[in-house]
Amino acid sequence: MKKYLPYLAGVTMSLIFGFSFIFSKAALEMLSTFELLFLRFTTATITMSILILLGVVKVNLKGKNIKPLILVAFWQPIIYFIMETKGLQYTTSSEAGVMMAFIPVLVAILAAFLLDEKPTKLQWIFIAVSVIGVITIVLGGGNLETKGQLKGIIFLLSAVFSASMFNIYSRRASQNFTPYETTYSMMILGMIVFGILYLIQGLINGDINILSKINTQVSISIFYLGVLSSVFAFLLVNYSLSKLPASQSSVFANLTTVVSVIAGITIRGESFETYKLIGAVMIIVGVWGTNYFGILNKNRA
C-alpha cells in the first residue's frame, strides 16, 4: 500500500490545484482582488504557523539573509496572484488552468538565459509546440476585444511569466532555505503586501469593512484556497517529489490542467470551444516533450 501513497498524493494535489480556479472565481463574485488575496494569505499564514507550533513543519530563519526570499515572494505570490486573480475576472477558470500549464515551458526558456541550462534541439521543438498552443488560444476566438478576453489572457500570461521567474529565483533560494522556510516566508510577505494594498484600496473607495462581505460561499472559498490549496497541497507536493522521480511527478502538472478544464465546464457551465481544446493539447504535449527529453539529456550527461 505504501508504494501507492506518492501517486495518491500526486493525484490529490492535482485535484486541489485544479479546483482552485473555481473557488477563486466564486470568491471574486463577492470580494475584490486584494480582499481575496489578503484573506487567502492570512488564512494560509495562520494555518502554517499552527503546523510549525505543533512541530509538523520545521522553519528556522534566525541569522539567515532573507533577501533571496523577498525576491522569491515578489514574483510569487505578490505579482503572480495579482495577475492570476485579475485574469480570472475576465476569463474562465478552465482557460486559466490551460494557460498555467505553459509555466514549465517558459521556465525552460528563461533557464536557458538566466541559469545557462540550454534546452536540446528536441526540447526547442516541443517548446515551439507549446508556444503555438498558447497563440491558438489567444487568437482562436477572433473576437477577444469585445469579450474582454484579451485583457484576461494578458493578465494570465503575466501570471505565467511571474510563476516562471519564481521558479528561477526559488531554485537559487533553495541553496540556503528549505521549501518550508521559503513557503512560510511567501505566505507572510503575501499577507503583509496584500493587506496593505487592501487597506489602500479600501480607504480610496471608502470601504474597508471586509467582514460584511464574508458569507458561506466566501468562507468555503477562502478555506479551500488558504488551507487546502496553499498549505495542504504544498505538503503533498513535497511528499510526492521526495518519493517519485521528476519524470513521473511532472505528469501531475498536466493532470491539474485537465481537472481545471473539466471542473470549469461541468461545475460552472463554462464553454470550451474546439480551438481551446486544440491549444490545450498542444501546450500539454509541449510540456511533456520539454520535460521528457530534458530528463533523457540529463541521464546521458
For residue range 60-100, list pLDDT tens digits in order.
Answer: 988 888 999 999 999 989 999 999 999 988 888 888 888 88
Round to whole Å and give the CA distance between 299 and 301: 6
Question: CB within 8 A of 40, min separation 6: which ones?
Answer: 81, 194, 222, 225, 226, 230
| Residue 7: predicted pLDDT | 82
Of 7-21, 169-183, 232-246, minimum mean pLDDT range: 232-246
- State how far the alpha carbon of 241 is from the alpha carbons of 57, 76, 126, 135, 238, in Å: 17, 20, 24, 31, 5
Copy the grid coordinates of residue 226.
488558504
Tally the residues of the chain.
301
Residue 204 has pLDDT above 60, yes or no: yes
Using pLDDT thresholds of 50, 70 and 90, give the confidence band for residue 126. confident
Of 44-48, 50-54, 155-159, 295-299, minimum mean pLDDT range: 295-299
Q: Mean pLDDT throughout 211-220?
A: 92
Q: Is residue 83 within 8 Å of 162, Cβ to Cβ?
A: yes
Instruction: Find where cell 513557503 sits.
Output: 183
Residue 121 has pLDDT above 60, yes or no: yes
Of 189-193, 266-270, 272-276, minimum mean pLDDT range: 272-276
Q: Mean pLDDT throughout 172-194?
A: 89
Using pLDDT thresholds of 50, 70 and 90, give the confidence band for residue 18. confident
Residue 143 has pLDDT above 60, yes or no: no
